[in-house]
Structure 1
Amino acid sequence: MSDRSTDGTEGLNENGMLGRVVSYIEAARRTPVSARARDAAFRCIIDLLGSAAAGVNQPGVRAVRSTALATMGTGGVPIWFSGASSTIIGAAWANSASASALDLDDGHRLARGHPGAAVIPAAFAVAGETGASLDEIINAIVIGYEVGVAIGAARTSYGNTGTWSAYAIVATAAALLLTPSDILAHALAIAGESAPNQLFASAPAPRVPAPEGSDVKEGIPWSVVTGLVALNLAEAGHTGPRNILDSARHYRFAEDLRLGADPHICKAYFKLYACCRHIHAPLDAMLQVIEQNAIDADTIDLMEVETTSGALRISNRTRPANIIDVQYSVPYCMALAALSGPHVLLPLMPDALGQENVMKLSEKVNLSLNMDFDARFPAETLARVSIIADGRRFVSEVTTPKGEASNPLSSDELEAKFRAATRMVLSTPRQEDVLKGISTARAGDMSALMTSLVSG
């Protein structure tokens, strides 16, 4: 325990933004979540566990897992679907890596990023060590989403998830550990200032060169390590710049900000394709036109995509070198789905690479900025697709992707996504064990769910 005062008052401006965040966490961790937020948390859990199982054998994930075990040691916290276990930090790091590897994890429009792949692995890891109750875990997850999304949305310039999710990790873990307010304030400040900078990947267009597809992606797993270590550092007496969120250059919070009033977790979106969210609206628009007009993909001469600046910012390689390149390419994903069907993107597998017919069709995809769509971004992500085939032009409706809070997946659709995403990794009985575990957890018993995550 630090020798610092833990009454939450010494040196901390309680009216500053960090003080307000601390006050929210302290109040929220003592208050049961609403039925609406609880249901949203379980929807996020089932989605995140499916994403993690789907990604568990990816090369970059295996590298994180072996490094976590080598550097952070073994312990009693499960590394999901692997049969291994590590310390809180090691397991949370590895589980976050598997959850974010295939770009199937949830997201949030306001923060323009992915809170679940950070928050849920951290919550489960800390709870696995402390024996937290189900209600405490759910509460911590709701708090983590709230803090992460609020801070991510307040950034004055775009930053990939890893630039803000360390705040969410501190909030999540501190809610479970009942961290005193002064230590919590320093931990948040340490995490915020030490988070992955993502300067190359977060840079605005034009990016010359565009970032090479790599396992680093948005820095989410390392932000989990950053957040958990920040909490340990603050506990040991390390300090951070507690006025960090008052920087007008870097953050602009809404004047009427009321943390927790309308929980951000209730507006998370879920993905049906293993690729960047910027690609989903063009995909849904294209698939709509193909289905409605019975278009043979081999007859397509041109696909014109009206979209937002976010979609134009990603790399969009028509001849991707690796799976991560595919995850960030509107043209390639559209061509792949047009020729083979959307199921090839749930999940995305290595055999998607190097297909000459896909590359040729992707070179027929033109992207353009629609200023009206961009004015509604990031609150909405819209696209319209025109397909020219056999001398005719077919135009989609203005499309928002399936899975948004305004167009949500049903519970049956989330379960169907889980089964499809994990079908190459988990046996059918194992899939049912996880789904049954989530069902019994909803009723108040986490034991079956925790057991279902342990073995490889």
Structure 2
Amino acid sequence: MSPPFHEFAADLTYADLPEALRAVLRRSFLDTMGVAAVASTTQMAQIAVRGAQAMFGPTATGSARILMEGTPLSPAGAAMAGGFTVDAVDAHDSTSPCKGHGGSAVFPALMAMADASANPLTGQAFATHLAVGYEVSYRVGLAQHATCADYHTSGAWTAVGVATAAARMLECDGETIRHAAGIGEYHGPRSQMMRCIDHPTMVRDGVGWGAPSGVVAAYLARDGFTGAPALTCEDAPPFWSDLGTAWRTVEDTSYKPYPCCRWAHPSIDSVAHLMATHGLTHTEIASVDIKTFHNATRLAGHRPASPDEFAYGIAFPVATMIVRGQIGVSELGLTTLSDPDILRISDAVRLIDDPHLTRISQGKRWAQVTLHTRDGRSFEDVPRTPKGDNDLPLSDSEISDKFHLFADPVLGAARANEIETLCSDFDSLSAADFTRLLDLCLTAPPRN
């Protein structure tokens, strides 16, 4: 019989973590830091830093530095700014069954807690806290999606996972952790994801408030604040029956090769395949038909006016792949939004709401693409799900290449290489070496 979630969180040890889980945490550490590096250069991240500075100065709980920025704030403030920063570039790790993202909240929050701690953490200790944060977040997300009518952002369910892991980091007992989860669920953002899909803006996936909500919940619980039971943890037994024996973090974590919404990825993969297989150039393309599931057809993006609309688009990212052959750092620049070749093809993308693909896009994301050329030919691909899912995983070398693509231009190759080396076995680092990793990730990169 599985233990209650709060006992699991209080009692978990590093020895309990299977090697497959440890490997996921290492990959996610590196992947998230690469995204954080490039995201720290965005307007969204810079606005979030100023907002956090206005509200969350250093306190008696200790100061924590903002991820990739370095300003000392309260742990909640650093979690808020860090969450918004990672979320500013939509390339962080994912969980398709929850239709969202865990690491974009869990890493900034728990790194802030670690930085504020009076006692430096070893890599093993931090890995165990991470495992709690991810596992509880994913199971809460599954329970929430099964029991709530609205599709809520990742901030809604990561608030509970962060609260649970943060209370553990504060050395709370099981019952206090239970209260922290209840506070995190009650006060966490129940933001509705489709509002951002329909109106792409900087509110993104809600983790900018989910992360600090969980941190504040932990401190409140530690000091005796009581919380209503977290219904997603305590009233949804099917999602907790194998806790501690099966790991959703291993089964459900996936990685994104492109910095845009996962819903667009199967179409991007498909056009890349068709263009390469048939030796096509973008000048030959007349139009593109994309059959996909209903929510994906609601993605904006034929003529995005901002990076937010690019991130939550499908037509424009697909056109970008056709024209540029990649969606990398250079494609995140504002000049991409006015590229006449990309705009021509984006305007010629037709999104088709396909009932069959909608039915089967439960825990997966399906699309089928047909390219039409100016000389009357058509090239139809098979239906696809995204590369990076567990059945089509990115290799370690692909994760590394992505990290350096994002991090090297911002941090410099030497700093990026040291982060990669330390992340590759962070869970075996001494307290001194893990503190070095935190320092590399929590200080500002050189700015031109």
For the criterion TM > 0.5, the same-fold answer is yes
> Aligned pair 1:304/2:265, yes or no?
no
Give the aligned CA root-mean-square deviation in angstroms.
Answer: 2.4
- 1:67 aligned onto 2:51: yes
8 Å CA contact retained: 1:32, 1:135: no
Displacement of 1:60 after TM fit?
A: 1.6
Instruction: Measure how far apart 1:347 and its partner are.
Output: 6.1
Q: State the SS of the aligned residue for 1:164.
A: helix
Amino acid at match of 2:383: V
Mapped partners of 2:361, 2:187: distance in 1: 29
Question: TM-score, normalized by length of structure 2?
Answer: 0.89
Counterpart of 1:202, as a letter, is M
| Aligned match of 2:337 | 353
Q: Deviations over 1:83-111 (max 9, x none)?
A: 43322222222222221111011010111
In the other structure, the counterpart of 2:441 is: 453
Equivalents in 1 of 2:244, 2:352: separation in Å?
38
Aligned residues: 430
Is residue 2:22 matched to residue 1:38? yes
- Whether the aligned pair in 2 keeps the contact of 1:142 and 1:263 (CA below 8 Å) is no
Give the drift of 1:442: 4.9
Of the three residues 254, 269, 277, the one matched with 2:254 is 269
**Gap change, CA 1:282 and 1:92, over 3 Å in 2:** same
Residue 436 of structure 1: aligned partner: 421
1:176 corresponds to 2:176? no
- Counterpart of 1:378? 362
| Structure 2 equivalent of residue 150 of structure 1 | 139
Query: Which letter maps to 1:452?
Result: L
State the Cα deviation string for residues 3-36 of structure 1 (Å, max 9, x = none). xxxxxxxxxxxx9x9x932232123257531111
Which 10-residue stretch deviates more, 365-374 or 424-433? 365-374
Residues 54, 422 of structure 1: 8 Å contact kept: yes
How many Å separate the matches in 2 of 1:449 and 1:346? Answer: 27
User: AA paired with 1:303?
Assistant: V
Aligned partner letter, 1:393: S
C-alpha change, 1:261 and 1:309, in structure 2 (3 Å) is farther
CA deviations on 1:55-76 (whole Å, 9 max, x unpaired) are 0021121122123233222464
| TM alignment of 1:205-284, pairs within 5 A | 211-242=198-229, 244-245=231-232, 254=238, 257-266=241-250, 267-284=252-269
| Shift in Å, 1:253 | 5.1
Following superposition, the deviation at residue 287 of structure 1 comes to 0.7
Task: Determine if contact 1:78/1:453 at 8 Å carries over to the other structure.
Answer: no
Identity %: 24
Q: How far is 1:293 from its partner?
A: 0.5
Which one-letter code corresponds to 2:140 in the other structure?
Answer: I
Q: Does 1:320 align with 2:304?
A: yes
Which residue of structure 2 aligns with residue 126 of structure 1? 113
Structure 1 Cα separation of the partners of residues 312 and 10 of structure 2: 38
The Cα of 1:216 is off from its aligned counterpart by: 1.1
Equivalent residue of 2:369, what SS?
Answer: strand
Q: CA deviation at 1:193?
A: 1.7
CA distance in 2 between partners of 1:187 and 1:252 (Å): 18
2:387 partner letter: K
Aligned counterparts of 2:225 and 2:54: Cα–Cα separation in 1: 26
AA partner of residue 317 (structure 1): G
| Shift in CA distance, 212/339, structure 1 to aligned 2, threshold 3 Å | same
TM-score by length of 1: 0.88
CA contact (8 A) 1:307 1:374 kept: yes
SS in 2 for 1:62: helix
| Residues 227 and 309 of structure 1, relative CA distance in 2, 3 Å threshold | same
Amino acid at match of 2:316: Y
Deviates more, 1:39-48 or 1:335-344: 335-344
Instruction: Supply the distance in 2 between the matched residues of 1:346 and 1:412 (Cα, whole angstroms).
Output: 21
Aligned to 1:9: none
Is the contact between residue 112 and residue 378 of structure 1 (CA under 8 Å) also seen in structure 2? no
Measured in 2, the distance between the counterparts of 1:327 and 1:450 equals 28
The answer to whether the 8 A contact 2:10-2:177 is kept is no
Tell me the residue number matched to 1:193. 186
In 1, distance between residues paired with 2:340 and 2:190?
A: 36
Deviation at 1:112, TM superposition (A): 0.9
Cα offset, 1:356, TM superposition: 3.2
Secondary structure of the corresponding residue to residue 368 of structure 1: strand
Tell me which moved more, 325-334 or 78-87.
78-87
Looking at structure 2, the residues matched to 255 and 160 of structure 1 have their Cα atoms a distance apart, in angstroms, of: 19
| In structure 1, distance between residues paired with 2:225 and 2:440 | 38
Matched residues in 1 for 2:137 and 2:426: separation? 25
Report what 1:91 is aligned to. 78
Residues 381, 180 of structure 1: CA spacing in aligned structure 2 closer, same or farther, 3 A cutoff? same
| Structure 2 residues without counterparts, runs of 5 or longer | none
| TM-fit CA distance, 1:421 | 1.4
* Structure 1 residues 288 and 433: alpha-carbon distance in aligned structure 2, compared to 1, 3 A threshold: same
Q: After the TM superposition, list the runs of 4 or more consecutive aligned residues in structure 1 that deviate by more than 4 angstroms.
A: none
Partner Cα distance (1:291, 1:65) in 2: 42
Q: Does 1:422 align with 2:415?
A: no
Q: Name the structure with the higher helix share.
A: 2
Query: Could you tell me whether the CA contact under 8 Å between 1:336 and 1:344 is conserved in 2?
Result: no
Letter in 1 for 2:100: G
